[in-house]
Structure 1
């Protein structure tokens, strides 16, 4: 298995996986939307995407991906990364692919001088929670001294 960061010319490698990821989160399958979304993020340099490639029956195929988005702190004057998407094809789970994708993301963020990688997962996604905690992620409370506000538009 090989993990690599992709650029916009390689976006096709993750389109099917991204579509499956969205379906996992109860969204309708829409490969055109997936293709456009991934291509735009990469062309605009708005995210970093890593893909796991594995040899399957003599063919190298994408079996998982992770996508990170930058986040900035004006007060701390730093850029950090949000690991927003992580997906491994159902036929390739329990092989350590998710962990390797996360490790690649963390190495990338560290090389980019980030001070943290943050992620979220559903409260009922116990497999993901175990993986994150095994790697060393710590469940966080809101940062001390700040409230988080959100408005739905």
Structure 2
């Protein structure tokens, strides 16, 4: 395995991150759309609406091995910032080589640096490999609260019936 570094990405790294984010979306059943992914990343990074860390090879910073994306949130109870670790993806050929753990560690260091109360994440119930990784990194499964979501997206024209 080549040695790698984890760095905080900025808008100059969009072309490195976009193919990985596009692959990550496809893993979750979305259609490939590299242009839309690039636009989405650009908006998030330029508006400082997310923080992205990327793992790059030491010898060539143009080889991106994986990424994680954090979104800011807040705890009204704790009166502190929290971070949502929304995305974590490592290219298949670089898995089980410490890349994902290094990205998780970078996210944790960043959360500590920003004086956050916590990092939160969610993963699929059947994603056992991710669950094992998160538990190894010190994350604990929430056994106290159920988490709910409500999809409020605007239906496409073929979905809307009056």
TM-score (norm 1): 0.90
SS at match of 2:150: coil
Task: Report the Cα distance in structure 2 between the residues aligned to 1:95 and 1:149, rounded to whole angstroms.
Answer: 34
* 2:43 pairs with 1:40: yes
Q: 2:33 aligns with which of 24, 27, 30?
A: 30
After superposition, the C-alpha distances for 1:4-41 in whole angstroms (9 at most, x for unaligned) are 00112222220110001001111111000110011100
User: Where do 1:1-150 residues align within 5 Å?
Assistant: 1-54=4-57, 59-60=60-61, 61-143=63-145, 150=149
Q: Following superposition, which runs of at least 4 residues in structure 1 exceed 4 angstroms of deviation?
A: none
Task: Report the Cα distance in structure 1 between the residues aligned to 2:65 and 2:54, rounded to whole angstroms.
Answer: 8
Q: Relative to total residues, which structure has the larger strand share, 1 or 2?
A: 1
Tell which structure's C-alpha radius of gyration is larger.
2
Q: Match for residue 159 of structure 2?
A: none
Structure 2 gap ranges (5+): 153-162
Q: Match for residue 151 of structure 2?
A: 152
How many residue pairs match? The answer is 148
Deviation at 1:141, TM superposition (A): 2.9
Deviation at 1:152, TM superposition (A): 2.3
SS at match of 2:89: strand
TM-score (norm 2): 0.85
